[in-house]
Amino acid sequence: TEEPVAKKLRSDADVNGEAKPEVTTAEAEPEVPAEARPDVTAEVRLEVTAEVRLEVTAEVRPEVPVEGRPEVPAEAKPEVTAEARPEVPAEPGVKPQSKQEEDFLSSKPEVKADVKPDATAVTVAKNADADADVDNEDADEESDEDPLAHRPFAEADVGIETYLGSHPGFAGALKTNWEDFHVHEVDSAGCLARLTNQEIPKEVKNAEDVLTSEQKQQLLKLSLDNCAKLLNDEVVIECGEDKEWRTKLHKCIKAQFPALCSNTAERNGVKVILVKQKRGSEQERREWPKDRGAYCHFVMHLHGKGTLNAIDNIARGMRMKPSHFAYCGTKDKRAVTSQWVSVHKVEAARIKSVANRISGVSVGNFCYKQNPLRLGDHLGNEFSLIIRDVQASSEDIASSVASLKSAGFVNYFGLQRFGQSGNGGTFEVGRALLRCQWSLAIDRILEPCGADNPTARRWKLAYKKDGDAASCAAKMRTGLERSLLLGIARNGGQANLSALQALPRNMLQLFGHSYQSLLWNRLATARLKLYGPKPALGDLVQLPDGSIREIGGDQPGCPADPDSCELASVVLPLPGFDVRLPGNAIADALRDMLAEDGLTLADLRHRVKDLSLPGSYRPLIVRPQGVSYSLLRYTDPRLPLLLSDRDLLNKPDQQQHQLIASSSEETGDLKSAILLRMRLPKSAYATMAVRELSRGQISVLSCR
């Protein structure tokens, strides 16, 4: 029996009068067994290939009106197979869509996740920073196989199926340790964010220095002493009757000791200047230097810590809101990352003193600028990845890297985009939110799962058992679940929209974006299976000026035929109410996918504004820039093969081959590894590039 998509391929070929190339689909690859690792410290660096540097292009997503879309014949529709989905309950006021929903509303059985409990490896946003430990306190009440065990999604569950190249690929392991995954942000000028110094910028002092050494010592002691009793202490400086001299003294104190305030007074008939510590409110109100930019920019270097968690910790230490900090994008927790951050009118010294007390956080390269950072301001990221346990010949590795450089990879959203919520993905929460199924969305978020840390899991189970939201929230210190439980408690125990709105706005939006990403992945697979790895009539392409046009369309500037375009210029819509759809069978494929979930394109303009999805455009494929690789040997899998910015800062003269040295000449003890470097545009996933490189044979592990 022929596969439905294969039938459509032939059908479409008949319609257009030409054969369509096939795209190789992902096959189930056998698991690479873990090998015994000798406990010997030894690594030797071998040959290094030349690095090829190419230009990084920024992704532009203009808005295009939905009009001028040609009709597509029904027979050209690709058949997209839907996964079996159990019916889900509607909220009060929402009409049940089936007999099963009516039964559900009357009997209220336990809701089960749409996706098998093989669930996902990574949690989303703030959940991504929780420990992946499984709570074993209730082990005696559980079966031998824990139904909440923390196992990853299969790629096919989130639409990841096809490859572009025909190279052999090779086996290996990525993220054996999180020190094997380094990310440096590439700013709008093409420069890397690197932590190279931790010095505080020197202030330009316009005021004349008229203080004596003794007076400076007294003022310095006063400004640095934080004891509350010293708020009443003061330094007295005799200044006489010369007003000009007094003015110089005031300006000098203000410039050199911003934490102090000075006033002219009279003591025993003599004019003096009294200098005291400013109170907290006075320090906040103090004048920001006019010659200094309003925003402090700095490099934030993280070891095994996610962006959101690090910003939250810094903000809490400074008694500020996390929203006061701006950054171009979030980085993964299970990595070593460097990125730029900006904050409005905060001293570099204050940021440094707080951040230095936070585990896994280092800050530096401070400067002051007039404008803040904004999401998406960067060009992309440079990745330095260690792939261990490589099992391949040097020829297979070389041909695989060459294919990645030339053909690129399908620009799928990686598995980490579909974080875990309950026993399913966060896209299930997003789908429930779009359908206004508030209680179902809350059930999905509060469903215990293997990715929970022990505390979160314990109180999720308690809430599921007795429904006491206030009591369970009181036992949890922080986190998404605590915020939601507090929202339920404040709404009289009702799991409704008001309870959900206790969550941060960006978190609610992330659930919708997860569902949107699932649709895009499935759409990309359908597009490549139907038309192959080349432009097709009706595809949308992004022109050099950033505008979106349809191949063969009737708008000005539309390419006349597919042969005049490159596959790298083809874009697919991230589904939304304000995007243009392709003028071929892919538009109908998207409508069918939404219909399977009980939704239409119009539903993406949600009555709750924060849940609306306007949509945008995403390139179908990505070609990495600056791709290079090195062959390495090692013996101890626990030792790092890459130096971080912090390592280089603390040991500037220490070279990698000195820090990582071999202590064994027994080649039988050595294992092979690859150091892969590449630059990707923003929102592209390095794990998807590695998937293409290896043809799915490299396993992405949960980092130790």
- pTM exceeding the 0.75 threshold for the entire prediction: no
Question: Domain containing 348: what range?
Answer: 188-194+296-378
467 shares its domain with 403: no
At residue 322, the 3 state secondary structure works out as helix
Instruction: Pick the more confident residue, 136 or 552.
Output: 552
Has residue 365 got a pLDDT over 50?
yes
Contact 358, 390 (CB under 8 A): no
Mean per-residue pLDDT over the chain, rounded: 76
pLDDT at residue 427, as a whole number: 92
The answer as to whether 116 is a domain residue is: no
Is residue 299 left, alpha or beta, with left meaning phi > 0 and alpha meaning psi from -120 to 50? beta
571 shares its domain with 686: no
363 shares its domain with 401: no
561 shares its domain with 465: yes
Q: Which neighbouring-strand residues pair with 640?
A: none
Burial class (CB in 10 A: 0-12, 13-18, 19+), 74: exposed
Give the C-alpha separation, 124 to 445, whole Å: 11
Give the C-alpha separation, 153 to 114, whole Å: 12
What CATH number should be reported for the domain holding residue 226? 3.30.1370
Inter-residue long-range contacts of 209-215, CB under 8 Å, 24+ positions, other chains counted: 209/252, 209/256, 210/245, 210/248, 210/249, 210/252, 211/249, 211/252, 211/253, 211/256
Of 642, 630, 632, 636, nearest to 42 by C-alpha is 636
Sign of the Cα pseudo-torsion (624, 625, 630, 636, in order): negative
Of the three residues 622, 640, 672, the one that is the final residue of a domain is 622
314 shares its domain with 432: no
535 shares its domain with 652: no
Has residue 335 got a pLDDT over 90?
yes
370 shares its domain with 419: no
Q: Which two tokens stand for residue 115?
A: 């996706």
Of the three residues 285, 309, 332, the one that is the final residue of a domain is 285
pLDDT at residue 340, as a whole number: 98
Helix (H) or strand (E) holding 332: none
pLDDT at residue 78, as a whole number: 41
Based on the structure, what is the number of domains in the chain? 4
Has residue 337 got a pLDDT over 50?
yes
> What is the SS3 assignment for 566-594?
CHHHEEEEECCCCCCCCCCHHHHHHHHHH
Cβ neighbours for 668, distance < 8 A, ≥ 6 positions apart:
none
Helix (H) or strand (E) holding 692: helix 686-694
359 shares its domain with 270: no
**Which of 270-284, 308-322, 330-344, 433-447 has the weakest average pLDDT?**
270-284
pLDDT at residue 272, as a whole number: 84
- pLDDT tens-digit map of 77-125: 344 333 333 343 333 333 443 443 344 334 333 333 333 333 333 333 3
What CATH number should be reported for the domain holding residue 311? 3.30.70.3160
Q: Which two tokens stand for residue 346?
A: 């905060």
pLDDT band at 651 (very low <50, low <70, confident <90, very high): confident
The answer as to whether 147 is a domain residue is: no
- pLDDT tens-digit map of 572-625: 999 999 999 999 999 999 999 999 999 999 999 999 999 999 999 999 999 999
- The active-site residue out of 332, 452, 539, 597 is 332
Of the three residues 600, 622, 644, the one that is the final residue of a domain is 622
What average pLDDT score do residues 507-526 get? Answer: 94
pLDDT at residue 493, as a whole number: 80
Q: Which two tokens stand for residue 364?
A: 């530096």
320 shares its domain with 267: no
pLDDT at residue 423, as a whole number: 58
Burial class (CB in 10 A: 0-12, 13-18, 19+), 643: buried
What average pLDDT score do residues 542-549 get? Answer: 92
Q: How far apart are the first and last CA of the chain?
A: 45
Helix (H) or strand (E) holding 276: strand 270-277
The answer as to whether 125 is a domain residue is: no
Which DSSP string do the residues of 406-425 spell out, in sequence order? HH-EE-PPPGGGS-EETTEE
The answer as to whether 123 is a domain residue is: no
The answer as to whether 156 is a domain residue is: no
Give the C-alpha separation, 203 to 216, whole Å: 17
617 shares its domain with 514: yes
The answer as to whether 121 is a domain residue is: no
499 shares its domain with 545: yes
Beta strands in 514-566 (DSSP E): 540-542, 548-550
pLDDT at residue 339, as a whole number: 98
561 is catalytic: no
Of 264, 325, 266, nearest to 300 by C-alpha is 325
Give the C-alpha separation, 8 to 342, whole Å: 51
Write the DSSP symbol of residue 135. Answer: P
614 shares its domain with 674: no
The answer as to whether 35 is a domain residue is: no
Q: How far is CA 657 from CA 39, 46, 654, 660, in A?
A: 20, 10, 8, 5
